[in-house]
């Protein structure tokens, strides 16, 4: 590629008229789907806002292959080879974590779109994120289950080898136990693994305990199959979940069986929060002819936050950009107003949606807890 | 060894050391990372070659041993504060919380734990043959991974570990790779090494010549696992973050690929192949990027790299059935012969 | 003095009794042959004695010790070595290594001494090397020591197998059809060769063979099996004139 | 556990087991003839789902036409894979062939990512198969009744083919000795190609059934079923067609019952297959119905 | 019938045949003798295409065999009984015989030929349903010959059919070779048992490390002193 021609080692001489921003995502491998969603967002943002400081912004996409070893190399390559000034990504907290040391040591800021694992930004001044964290989301769903569904007993089925699902399940559990004041409010926590397709015995087991609600954090394909199989087994208990469910495929796969499934997410197109949301929605629908996923909006926002920081820094020096990213406050993104806290995490509202008539329908907005 | 060869060997080792010093000061972190990976894959490749290439056991359990090494080394080198930060969902078991040891002992303990596990697994599994051994060892490595996913208060489960001290550097990785090479060469040329090769050639004959099959297979298996553990430890402390998903079968396959391409039963081949495959895969990244032809800009096709890589792999395997080196080893004589264009250096047996 | 002794060893494969109640007595220094039609159970008897199969019933003694059901490598350590009906050399390894490996069982150094080249290993290695070269020279194979075993002509491969077996320092050597695939001329040479090594290495030899010229030429005693059953024991003269042996195995004599 | 609950679990187990069995037959078939673990089998299975999907979704074929086309194309794909990845390696060391096989499987995965995209797609289900019916207290999809029947039918047709026809005899001969088979006038390459074709047809059948039961497709979906069904084949005795079916049922029912009886072990469910595999191999080193391979010395 | 001219075959760097010329006339028994590793088996393998010729030519009834694939050899009437029998151990005796007639379509004739084989080898008839792998060495050798005959060969090539067989069976095998020959089959025979082979051979060639050193009729060679010394051994003088 063209980037190869840049002299390596020694004093960095970047191309003068372009600013490179790395997009660090799983393009191939098991998480390719999620990666693609975020890339869409970043690319759309780049198309709409192609310039900053009078220079063209170029996205350099690096595939982390859904693999931790590769992820570290890909991140190192972005930083050293492509001389990017900042990085967007990655879907999948573990890949972000693998890049953590590199961005910190090389002092290049990274903004994750949807990595919700608290460890990503913890103790790393160079990692940020534009989404909320699992603890918040867990609380939101616990509240919803307790208040709106009147649930007092809940069963959890979680994707045990997925850090996101394990974390979310735990935060939900803590919050729900606190709400009910009942140490046994969680009847059972049952597990499955990524790629599993048969959940019948897990479902039968938890249905025997008669929970009011089943909380099922995990990948959307598996989740859709879980709900589908539950219906086939005649289990008529409401399912609630997390932000990963908000993909068209969740409905495609689940069809009428996922009707009524409720989950929390970052953003809704029904109630555009900012003017940026409307621009994003319009352009996305025009380009792709469908409704965007939340993580796409977040990928879009990650780009904008970086761009904004470059603008404010008036420089392409990664360290200066980092300092400006850290100061991001009340920034109007497509998926809501973004304010980064001292950990570099976004403090923002969550949205609750339900599947109705084959579409995601907005239910409620939950403001962040101070 | 001839005097000439000793001198040449000393010269090349000095050149390597000079190169490492140069690389350390002048290379960027990306290049250094790739070099580190090359050296680590050399260790992993050699350890697997001992089991699969020299002893002829068909073992696909390497990722499991690496996982043990990586986790043990990481947990032993992480300070208590970092551990507590990591284990925010479920606290770490107390006996692990406060142990912190320096890198080298941690690596060794990692290797030894992998070796102990290999010993336990080996007792039942090494009785199996061929494909059955392959699938059983693959199974064990998957079981290790699944156990690591589910023992949250020891391994932090799916969350993985992060902020592992970045201790691995060129000196560690190349130093240990060099030690591994020397160890393997010395082992292979010793009476024990020859016994292992005899087992590969013909188990029944080897046993009839007084070679205890089980004991020697176990020896290779345990030593291989030890080095796999050390390699895994180096890898974990290079990456700084590990999780159970990373130790899937594909990791074993990467190592297998290296030894098959290099030549099963050739130490030289493994070393060459570890460097070629690791850096080659990085180089192919170009395919995923957009290509600027000056007048038009071709968009990169995501995933094309892996398609090209897997087809290259198959082509290489098809045309170099016995790998680049077969079972041959580098020797100075061979090199000179090659320079004089004698074919004896890379002589391949036909119809094997 | 009795060196090898089997008492009523029997081997069954599923419904088939390959060897039935075989009683062998082989004395030190003897050359004993085992003959019989194809499928009579000769190789099976060898496999039981060498530990490849554990006999279904019966006991096997090597000198004083009971080796029934012991692992092949332990039996070899006790001083019993063999060759195979279908050559089983370490094909990809050099001729020298083939013989070298057969010394491994007597190695006293442990693996660390070997890898670190500590003095004891160095000394042992030197003597193994010397012994291997000596054996190769004895068997006229010295000039091929660097060749891969599989590249040797068939006859030499057979000899190498014997050299390899001798390297384990056996008291008794079991040869399974050493003359198979040899022409009559080579077969004659083999006959004298077997006698030579018996004397040179003070061996006891137990062999299976279909070439009567070999069997009758060197055997002190002969056992004859048919369908797993011992149908005759005796010296060559007795065997050649035993009606049952002629019927089952030799056929009417017209000089085999 | 109540009786009706137990029956429900058992039904689920049989239904999963018969799917495993169906795919395991394909593995066993190829292994029996070539002594080669066809690692790409799972990927051929995955591709068949995509073919069926595109048949219905893009080319708007009725489902039955699409399914027939799928079987045909998958069969061709299998033969193609054999040509590319295995044929040239006929006399190579086994491990080389194994690497090539794994390489082929990665190739197909990545190809699927490039061609079809990494995002999962919903498999077009057919109402008459997926409708839920109730038998007593047990609720099941019609499919659950169809799959075991299909599996048994395919089992017997295969047994007939392998044991009673000339092609089958050629297959068995090829499995022992290529050179001699050639000497007898057997077209070894063709026989192997046919074997792969049949194996792939089985993968396609398995794929379609699987897709209707678990209606989602993505490029990596072949890995786990591939591995599990291979394990099923090994448990039953790889190379033995009956064995594959038995292994499939044992694995399917075992997995379900494990979780049913010991709910606290759900996280280890995938390990169950491997534990079972290892236990069985230790008891019977060549699987339940595997031929005893005692090398004649 | 079969003409080999200047045939060279190499396995990698090992030259197994260094230009041999040999002629098999229709209706004859031709035998090829020579020490181990002389290249006898290689000659037969080259004829059926299992070993690749480097140079030279092989013609059979005017047809260039080097162009021909192994699997088509039986159709031309050439069948090889390979060294070491190589019966299909997982097939029954009957199936082994049937696969010998694999290319044939004349089902009725096949049945008749089966009867003929069972007449030649009554032992095989007893074992029709037994798995070939469990037969004794001698029985396997008979099966290998029977299997070859089922293809109704015009030229039958046998690679050391007496290898490892009991004396009684060796005699039987040679009788059968004579019997087959009487029924009009041309035979190319490789034997270590030079004595027996030369006795039945019309013509004989001696192969030494890849070259043909002596040729002549069977009885000529039997009397040849060189041959006696090199191949027949003293006890057969
Ligand atoms: N591993 C085995 N499994 C089943 N049957 C076996 C096995 N080994 C040998 N046999 C059977 O046992 C019988 C005796 O075989 P064995 O090899 O001992 O014969 P042999 O006397 O050595 O014959 P030959 O002279 O042909 O070598 C044969 O019928 C053979 O098929
Ligand atoms: N596949 C092979 N690869 C390498 N060399 C081979 C191969 N097959 C045979 N050779 C070599 O070719 C030469 C001739 O072998 P061939 O098998 O034709 O001998 P032969 O006369 O049939 O001997 P035998 O009496 O042992 O059957 C030998 O030196 C042998 O080592
Ligand atoms: Mg025998
Ligand atoms: Mg031969």
Based on the structure, what is the number of domains in chain C? 2
Subunit contact D275:B143, Cβ cutoff 8 A:
yes
Q: How many CB atoms lie within 10 A of CB C225?
A: 26
Chain B residues within an 8 Å CB radius of E12: 347-351
Percent of chain A scoring above 70 in pLDDT: 95
Would you say residue A12 has pLDDT above 50? no
Q: pLDDT (tens digit, 9 = 90+) per residue, A217-266?
A: 998 889 999 999 999 888 999 999 998 888 888 898 888 899 999 999 88
Percent of chain A scoring above 90 in pLDDT: 43
Q: pLDDT (tens digit, 9 = 90+) per residue, B29-75?
A: 888 989 999 999 999 999 999 999 999 998 999 999 999 999 999 99
Would you say residue B262 has pLDDT above 50? yes
Instruction: Kindly give, in sequence order, each residue whose CB lies less than 8 Å from that of residue A344, ignoring residues fewer than 6 positions away.
Output: A121, A124, A125, A127, A128, A129, A325, A326
CA distance C249 to chain B (A): 30
Are the CB atoms for A165 and A218 separated by under 8 Å?
yes
Q: How confident is the model at residue A305 (pLDDT cuts 50, 70, 90)?
A: very high
Sequence-ordered alpha helix ranges (H) in chain B? 3-26, 29-48, 62-77, 80-86, 94-97, 103-125, 130-150, 152-155, 170-189, 191-201, 203-208, 213-239, 249-262, 267-283, 304-319, 332-339
Last residue of a domain, one of C129, C164, C199: C164
Confidence at residue B71, expressed as pLDDT on a 0 to 100 scale: 97
Residue E37, chain C, CB below 8 Å: the answer is: yes
CA distance E14 to chain B (A): 10
Do C176 and C155 fall into the same domain?
no
C172-176: strand order across its sheet: C80-82, C172-176, C204-208, C31-35, C221-226, C229-234
Give me the interface pTM, i.e. the ipTM: 0.88
Task: Kindly report the pTM of this predicted structure.
Answer: 0.89
Are the CB atoms for B116 and B124 separated by under 8 Å?
no
Last residue of a domain, one of C164, C193, C215: C164
Residue D137, chain A, CB below 8 Å: the answer is: no
Confidence at residue D194, expressed as pLDDT on a 0 to 100 scale: 93
Q: Which of C58, C51, C50 is nearest to C7 (CA)?
A: C58
Average pLDDT over residues A52-66: 88
| Residue C152 three-state SS | coil
| Residue E211 three-state SS | strand
**Nearest ligand 2 atom, CA E207:** 21
Do C66 and C180 fall into the same domain?
yes
Confidence at residue B339, expressed as pLDDT on a 0 to 100 scale: 67
Residue with CA closest to ligand 2 atom 18:
E39
Are the CB atoms for D63 and D239 separated by under 8 Å?
no
**Nearest ligand 1 atom, CA C210:** 25
Distance CA A172, CA A187 (A): 13
Would you say residue C45 has pLDDT above 90? yes
Confidence at residue B350, expressed as pLDDT on a 0 to 100 scale: 35
Torsions phi, psi for B90 (to 5 deg):
-135, 130
Q: How confident is the model at residue C230 (pLDDT cuts 50, 70, 90)?
A: very high
Residues in chain B whose beta carbon is closer than 8 A to a beta carbon of chain D? 52, 58, 124-125, 127-132, 134-136, 138-140, 142-143, 146-147, 149-150, 204, 253, 256-257, 260, 264, 301-304, 306-307, 310-311, 313-314, 317-318, 321-322, 351-352
CA dist D285 → A224, C13, D238 (Å): 40, 18, 11
**Which of E32, E33, E42 gets mutated to test ligand 2 (max ligand atoms within 8 A of its CB)?**
E42
Torsions phi, psi for A263 (to 5 deg):
-155, 165
Are the CB atoms for B238 and B290 separated by under 8 Å?
no
Distance CA C1, CA A342 (A): 93
Cα C163 to averaged position of ligand 1 atoms, centre (Å): 26
Cα E177 to averaged position of ligand 3 atoms, centre (Å): 24
The CATH number of residue C188's host domain is 3.40.50.300
Q: Which of A207, A167, A166 is nearest to A187 (CA)?
A: A207
Q: Which residues pair with C175 in a beta bridge?
A: C207
Phi-psi region of D76 (alpha: psi -120 to 50; beta: other; left: phi over 0): alpha
Residues of chain E with pLDDT under 50: 235-237
User: Which residue in E has a C-alpha nearest to residue B348's C-alpha?
Assistant: E12
Cα D287 to averaged position of ligand 3 atoms, centre (Å): 29
C84 domain residue, yes or no:
no
Q: Where are the domains of chain B?
A: 3-248
Confidence at residue E143, expressed as pLDDT on a 0 to 100 scale: 92
Confidence at residue B352, expressed as pLDDT on a 0 to 100 scale: 32
Q: Which residues pair with A351 in a beta bridge?
A: A265, A365
Round the average pLDDT of chain A to a whole number and report it: 87
In this predicted structure, which of A97-111, A282-296, C51-65, D93-107 has the lowest mean pLDDT? D93-107
Top mean pLDDT of A270-274, A281-285, B215-219, D279-283 is at: B215-219
Q: State whether the Cα torsion A105-A106-A108-A112 is positive or negative.
A: negative
C160 domain residue, yes or no:
yes
**Cα C218 versus chain centre, distance:** 15
Cα D186 to averaged position of ligand 4 atoms, centre (Å): 23
**Nearest ligand 1 atom, CA D294:** 1
Diameter of chain A measured on Cα atoms = 67
Residue E115: CA count within 13 A, CB half-sphere: 5
User: Which residue in B has a C-alpha nearest to residue D273's C-alpha?
Assistant: B139
**Nearest ligand 1 atom, CA D296:** 1
Distance CA E64, CA E43 (A): 16
Would you say residue C56 has pLDDT above 80? yes
Confidence at residue B345, expressed as pLDDT on a 0 to 100 scale: 41
Confidence at residue A217, expressed as pLDDT on a 0 to 100 scale: 93
Residue E204: CA count within 13 A, CB half-sphere: 25
A-proximal residues of D, 216-235, CB under 8 Å: 216, 218-221, 223-225
Confidence at residue B173, expressed as pLDDT on a 0 to 100 scale: 94
Are the CB atoms for E150 and D183 separated by under 8 Å?
no
Instruction: Kindly give, in sequence order, each residue whose CB lies less than 8 Å from that of residue A362, ignoring residues fewer than 6 positions away.
Output: A268, A270, A271, A351, A352, A353
**Which of E4, E10, E12, E16 gets mutated to test ligand 2 (max ligand atoms within 8 A of its CB)?**
E16
Would you say residue A15 has pLDDT above 60? no
CA distance D155 to chain A (A): 24
Are the CB atoms for B258 and B41 separated by under 8 Å?
yes
**Cα B187 versus chain centre, distance:** 17
Average pLDDT over residues B179-199: 94
Residue A147: CA count within 13 A, CB half-sphere: 10
Bigger pLDDT: B288 or D226? D226
CATH numbers and ranges of domains, chain E: 27-42+76-204+211-231 (3.40.50.300)
CA distance C150 to chain E (A): 11
Residues of chain D with pLDDT under 50: none
Q: How confident is the model at residue A370 (pLDDT cuts 50, 70, 90)?
A: low
Residue with CA closest to ligand 1 atom 26:
C38
Angle of helix E93-100 versus helix E137-149 axis, rounded to 10: 30
CA distance C126 to chain D (A): 33
Subunit contact C185:E233, Cβ cutoff 8 A:
yes
Cα C155 to averaged position of ligand 2 atoms, centre (Å): 11
Tell me the residue range of the domain where C98 lies. Answer: 90-164
Distance CA E53, CA C40 (A): 41
Bigger pLDDT: B304 or C160? C160
Cα C147 to averaged position of ligand 2 atoms, centre (Å): 15
Cα B203 to averaged position of ligand 2 atoms, centre (Å): 24
C85 domain residue, yes or no:
no
Distance CA B69, CA B72 (A): 5
Are the CB atoms for C34 and C207 separated by under 8 Å?
yes
Among the partner residues E50, E89, E102, nearest to D185 by beta-carbon distance:
E102
Q: pLDDT (tens digit, 9 = 90+) per residue, A28-51?
A: 777 777 888 899 999 999 999 998
Q: Which of D270, D229, D214, D244 is nearest to D49 (CA)?
A: D214
Q: Where are the domains of chain D?
A: 3-283
Q: Which of B153, D266, B64 is nearest to A159 (CA)?
A: D266
Helix (H) or strand (E) run with residue E15 in it: strand E14-24
Please give the CATH architecture assigned to the domain spanning D3-283.
Answer: Orthogonal Bundle (1.10)
| Residue B224 three-state SS | helix
Would you say residue B111 has pLDDT above 90? yes
Residue with CA closest to ligand 1 atom 11:
C18
Helix (H) or strand (E) run with residue A23 in it: strand A18-25
Do C250 and C176 fall into the same domain?
yes
Instruction: Kindly give, in sequence order, each residue whose CB lies less than 8 Å from that of residue B218, ignoring residues fewer than 6 positions away.
Output: B119, B122, B123, B126
| Residue A25 three-state SS | strand
Q: Is the CB of E49 under 6 A from ligand 2?
A: no
Residue with CA closest to ligand 1 atom 27:
C38
Average pLDDT over residues A191-205: 89
Residue with CA closest to ligand 2 atom 7:
E11
Q: pLDDT (tens digit, 9 = 90+) per residue, A325-366?
A: 999 998 998 888 888 988 889 888 888 999 999 888 888 888
Average pLDDT over residues C179-184: 81
């Amino acid at each position: 590629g063209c980037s190869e021609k840049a002299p390596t080692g020694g004093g960095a001489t970047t191309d003068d008229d372009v600013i490179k921003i790395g997009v660090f995502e799983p393009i191939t491998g098991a998480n390719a789907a999620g990666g693609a969603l975020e890339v869409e967002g970043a690319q759309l943002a780049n198309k709409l806002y192609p310039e900053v400081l009078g220079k063209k912004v170029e996205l350099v996409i690096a595939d982390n292959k859904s693999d931790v070893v590769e992820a570290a190399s890909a991140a190192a390559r972005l930083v050293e080879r492509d001389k990017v000034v900042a990085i967007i990504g990655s879907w999948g907290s573990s890949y972000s974590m693998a890049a953590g040391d590199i961005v910190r040591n090389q002092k290049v800021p990274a903004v994750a779109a949807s990595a919700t694992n608290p460890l990503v930004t913890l103790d790393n001044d160079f990692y940020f994120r534009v989404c909320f964290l699992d603890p918040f989301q867990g609380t939101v769903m616990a509240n919803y289950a307790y208040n709106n569904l009147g649930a007092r007993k809940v069963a959890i089925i979680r994707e045990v080898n997925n850090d996101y699902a394990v974390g979310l399940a735990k935060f939900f559990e803590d919050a729900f136990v606190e709400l009910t004041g009942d140490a046994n409010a969680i009847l059972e926590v049952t597990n499955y693994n990524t790629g599993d397709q048969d959940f019948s015995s897990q479902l039968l087991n938890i249905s025997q305990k008669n929970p009011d609600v089943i909380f099922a954090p995990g990948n959307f394909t598996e989740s859709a199959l879980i709900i589908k199989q539950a219906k086939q087994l005649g289990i008529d208990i409401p399912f609630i979940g997390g932000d990963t469910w908000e993909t068209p495929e969740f409905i495609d796969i689940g069809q009428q069986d996922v009707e009524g499934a409720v989950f929390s997410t970052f953003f809704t197109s029904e109630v555009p929060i900012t003017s940026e949301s409307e621009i994003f929605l319009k352009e996305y629908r025009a380009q792709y002819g469908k409704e965007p996923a939340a993580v796409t909006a977040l990928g879009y926002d990650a780009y904008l936050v970086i761009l904004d920081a470059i603008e404010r820094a008036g420089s392409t020096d990664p360290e200066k950009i980092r300092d400006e990213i850290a100061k991001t406050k009340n920034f109007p993104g497509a998926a809501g107003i973004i304010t980064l806290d001292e950990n570099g995490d976004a403090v923002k509202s969550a949205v609750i949606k339900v599947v109705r008539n084959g579409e995601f329908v907005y239910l409620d907005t939950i403001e962040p807890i101070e | 060894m001839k005097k000439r060869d000793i001198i040449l060997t000393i010269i090349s080792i000095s050149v390597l050391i000079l190169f490492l010093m140069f690389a350390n000061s002048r290379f960027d972190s990306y290049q250094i990372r790739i070099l580190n990976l090359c050296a680590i894959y050399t260790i992993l490749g050699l350890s697997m070659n001992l089991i699969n290439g020299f002893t002829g056991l068909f073992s696909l359990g390497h990722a499991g041993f690496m996982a043990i090494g990586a986790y043990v080394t990481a947990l032993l080198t992480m300070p208590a504060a970092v551990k507590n930060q990591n284990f925010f969902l479920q606290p770490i078991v107390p006996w692990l919380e406060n142990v912190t040891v320096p890198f080298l002992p941690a690596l060794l303990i990692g290797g030894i734990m992998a070796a102990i596990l290999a010993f336990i697994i080996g007792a039942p599994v090494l009785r199996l043959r061929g494909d059955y051994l392959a699938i059983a060892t693959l199974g064990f490595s998957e079981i290790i991974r699944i156990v690591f996913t589910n023992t949250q208060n020891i391994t932090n489960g799916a969350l993985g570990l992060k902020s592992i001290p970045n201790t691995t550097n060129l000196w560690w990785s190349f130093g240990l790779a060099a030690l591994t090479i020397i160890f393997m060469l010395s082992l292979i040329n010793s009476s024990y090494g020859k016994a292992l090769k005899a087992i590969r050639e013909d188990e029944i004959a080897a046993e009839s010549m007084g070679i205890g099959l089980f004991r020697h297979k176990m020896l290779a298996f345990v030593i291989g696992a030890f080095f796999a553990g050390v390699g895994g430890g180096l890898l974990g402390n290079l990456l700084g973050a590990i999780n159970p998903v990373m130790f899937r079968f594909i990791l074993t396959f990467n190592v297998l690929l290296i030894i098959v391409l290099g030549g099963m039963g050739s130490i030289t081949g493994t070393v060459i192949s570890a460097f070629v495959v690791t850096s080659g895969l990085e180089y192919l990244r170009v395919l995923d990027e957009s290509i600027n032809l000056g007048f038009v800009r071709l968009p990169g096709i995501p995933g094309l790299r892996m398609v090209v890589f897997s087809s290259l792999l198959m082509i290489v395997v098809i045309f170099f059935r016995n790998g680049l080196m077969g079972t041959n080893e580098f020797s100075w004589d061979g090199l000179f012969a090659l320079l004089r264009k004698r074919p004896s250096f890379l002589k391949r047996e036909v119809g094997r | 003095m009795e060196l090898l002794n089997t008492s009523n060893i029997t081997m069954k494969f599923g419904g088939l009794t390959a060897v039935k109640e075989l009683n062998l007595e082989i004395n030190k220094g003897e050359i004993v042959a085992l003959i019989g039609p194809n499928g009579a159970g000769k190789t099976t008897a060898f496999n039981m004695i060498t530990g490849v199969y554990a006999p279904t019933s019966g006991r096997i003694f090597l000198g004083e010790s009971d080796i029934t059901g012991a692992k092949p490598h332990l039996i070899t350590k006790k001083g019993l070595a063999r060759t195979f009906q279908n050559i089983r050399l370490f094909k990809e390894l050099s001729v020298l290594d083939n013989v070298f490996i057969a010394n491994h069982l007597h190695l006293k150094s442990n693996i660390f001494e070997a890898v670190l080249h500590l003095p004891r290993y160095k000394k042992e290695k030197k003597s193994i090397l010397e012994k291997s070269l000596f054996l190769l020279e004895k068997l006229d194979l010295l000039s091929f020591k660097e060749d891969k075993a599989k590249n040797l002509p068939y006859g030499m491969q057979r000899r190498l197998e014997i050299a390899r077996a001798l390297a384990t320092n056996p008291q008794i050597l079991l040869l399974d059809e050493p003359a198979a695939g040899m022409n009559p001329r080579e077969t004659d040479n083999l006959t004298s060769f077997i006698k030579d090594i018996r004397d040179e290495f003070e061996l006891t030899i137990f062999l299976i063979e279909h070439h009567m010229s070999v069997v009758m030429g060197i055997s002190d005693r002969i056992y004859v099996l048919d369908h797993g059953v011992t149908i005759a024991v005796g010296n060559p003269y007795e065997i050649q004139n035993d009606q049952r042996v002629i019927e089952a195995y030799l056929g009417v004599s017209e000089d085999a | 556990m109540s009786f009706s609950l137990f029956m429900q679990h058992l039904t689920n187990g049989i239904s999963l087991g018969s799917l495993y069995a169906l795919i395991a037959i394909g593995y066993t078939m190829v292994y029996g003839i070539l002594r080669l673990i066809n690692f790409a089998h799972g990927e051929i299975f995955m591709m068949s789902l995509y073919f069926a999907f595109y048949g219905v979704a893009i080319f708007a074929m009725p489902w039955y036409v699409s399914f027939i086309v799928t079987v045909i194309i998958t069969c061709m794909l299998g033969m193609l894979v054999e040509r590319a990845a295995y044929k040239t390696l006929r006399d190579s060391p086994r491990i080389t062939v194994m690497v090539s096989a794994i390489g082929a499987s990665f190739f197909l995965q990545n190809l699927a990512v490039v061609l079809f995209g990494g995002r999962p797609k919903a498999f077009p289900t057919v109402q008459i198969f997926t409708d839920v019916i109730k038998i007593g207290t047990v609720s099941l999809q019609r499919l659950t009744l169809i799959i075991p029947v299909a599996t048994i039918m395919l089992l017997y047709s295969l047994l007939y083919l392998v044991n009673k026809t000339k092609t089958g005899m050629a297959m068995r001969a090829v499995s022992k000795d290529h050179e001699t088979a050639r000497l007898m006038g057997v077209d070894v390459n063709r026989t192997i190609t046919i074997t792969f074709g049949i194996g792939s047809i089985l993968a396609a059948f398995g794929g379609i059934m699987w897709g209707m039961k678990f209606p989602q497709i993505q490029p990596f979906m072949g890995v786990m079923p591939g591995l599990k069904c291979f394990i099923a084949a090994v448990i039953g005795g790889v190379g033995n067609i009956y064995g594959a079916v038995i292994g499939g049922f044992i694995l399917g029912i075992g997995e379900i019952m494990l979780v049913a009886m010991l709910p606290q072990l759900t996280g280890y469910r995938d390990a169950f297959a491997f534990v079972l595999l290892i236990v069985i191999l230790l008891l019977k080193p060549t699987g339940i119905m595997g031929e005893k391979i005692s090398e004649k010395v | 019938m079969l003409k080999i001219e200047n045939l060279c075959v190499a396995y990698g760097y090992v030259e197994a045949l260094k230009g041999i010329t040999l002629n098999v006339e229709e209706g004859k028994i031709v035998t090829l003798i020579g020490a181990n590793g002389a290249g006898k088996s290689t000659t037969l393998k080259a004829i059926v295409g299992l070993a690749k010729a480097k140079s030279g030519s092989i013609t059979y009834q005017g047809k260039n065999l080097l162009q021909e694939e192994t699997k088509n050899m039986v159709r031309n009437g050439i069948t090889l009984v390979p060294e070491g029998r190589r019966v299909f151990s997982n097939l029954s005796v009957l199936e082994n015989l049937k696969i010998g007639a694999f290319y044939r379509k004349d089902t009725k004739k096949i049945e008749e030929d089966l009867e003929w084989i069972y007449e030649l080898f009554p032992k095989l008839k007893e074992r029709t349903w037994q798995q070939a792998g469990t037969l004794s060495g001698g029985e396997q050798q008979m099966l290998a010959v029977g299997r070859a005959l089922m293809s109704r060969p015009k030229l039958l090539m046998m690679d050391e059919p007496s290898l490892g067989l009991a004396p009684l069976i060796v005699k039987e095998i040679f009788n059968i070779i004579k019997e087959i020959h009487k029924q009009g089959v041309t035979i190319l025979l490789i034997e270590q048992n030079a004595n027996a082979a030369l006795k039945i051979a019309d013509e004989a060639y001696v192969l030494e490390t890849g070259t043909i050193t002596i040729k002549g009729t069977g009885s000529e060679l039997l009397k040849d002193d060189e041959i006696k010394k090199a191949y027949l051994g003293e006890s057969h003088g």
